[in-house]
Every structure is written in C-alpha cells, then in structure tokens.
C-alpha cells in the first residue's frame, strides 16, 4: 500500500501594504517580512526508472512555482486594494514604484487565500495543496487548508 506523504517548503519575502478604510495603524503604508510555508500532499513516485522516484514533488519544482507566482510578483512590492480610486492608486505607483493592485483587501488572510489559488493552478495532477501558512509577523499568521475549502 502506498503512503500519503506531506512535504513542506518555506519561503520568505518582503512586502508593504496599506489597508483601505481600515481604522487602525495598518491604514498607512507599512511593510512586513513574510514567511510562507507551503505544504503539499501526495503519494511518492514509485518507479526506480523515474528521476523523481521516492518524491511527492521535487522541491526545486515547488520552488519554481512559488517563485514565479508569488515571490517574483509580491517581493519588495506595495500591495493595495483595487478599491482605491485610480488617482490614489496612481500616487502609490508614482511614490513606491512596484505597486500591485489586487481585487481584495490585502490582509494576511486574503493574501493566504490568493496564494493558495495561484499555487494550486500549477501543481502536477497527482499532487495536492494541503495547506499554506503565511506569517505576517513573527507571532501572527493566517492558514489556508484544502479541507476547509472543498
């Protein structure tokens, strides 16, 4: 009988954001050192002739997906909601350069859900995204679980 295995890879990136219409400190542009843990599940390849024998996924392949879909997009960017009027969004872009406009309030929770969606689209057929944990600070994080979202 084949064993279902979970594998996890950790990533880190720097990103700033501002929360539209928020009534606390996060309404102003500020940055975080994010840590992202991506956990996949699958049955390891059982084929001695396959270069991926014994692997659920090659960690290099997972790194490529996360780098392309998340790190290269969000690292050293300012992320804001598309709710901002175009003039203000333009000011963000002029002041900060790399500004990402998303269709949601860029909270840790919403970012985690967005990242899960971006990753899932690129996984091999036999590999599933089990969970994603996004640390916004050393002591605060949001988690996304496939079992909660199916």
For residue 14, list its beta bridge partners: 33
Quickly list H helices, the chain: 59-66, 72-74, 86-96, 108-120
Phi–psi pair at 11, nearest 5 degrees: -135, 160
Known catalytic residue: 150? no
DSSP 111: H
Known catalytic residue: 76? yes
Tokens for 73, please give them.
């997009």
DSSP 83: T
Known catalytic residue: 26? yes
The Cα 150–Cα 44 span in angstroms is 23
Catalytic-labelled residue, pool 26, 32, 122, 143: 26
Cβ-count burial of 78 within 10 angstroms (0-12 exposed, 13-18 middle, 19+ buried)?
buried
Catalytic-labelled residue, pool 32, 136, 143, 150: 136
The Cα 39–Cα 133 span in angstroms is 8
Q: Which residues are catalytic?
A: 26, 76, 136
């Amino acid at each position: 009988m084949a064993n279902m295995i979970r594998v996890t890879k950790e990533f880190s990136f720097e990103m700033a954001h501002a929360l539209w219409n928020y009534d606390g400190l996060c309404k102003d542009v500020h940055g975080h050192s994010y840590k992202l843990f991506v956990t996949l599940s699958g049955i390891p390849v059982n084929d001695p002739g396959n270069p991926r024998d014994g692997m659920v996924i090659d960690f290099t392949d997972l790194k490529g997906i996360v780098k392309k879909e998340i790190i290269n997009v969000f690292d050293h960017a300012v992320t804001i909601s598309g709710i901002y009027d175009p003039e203000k969004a333009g000011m963000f872009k002029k002041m900060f350069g790399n500004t990402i406009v998303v269709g949601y309030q860029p909270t840790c929770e919403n970012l985690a859900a967005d990242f899960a969606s971006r990753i899932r689209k690129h996984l091999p057929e036999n590999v599933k995204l089990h969970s994603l944990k996004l640390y916004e600070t050393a002591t605060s994080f949001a988690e996304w679980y496939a079992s909660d979202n199916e």
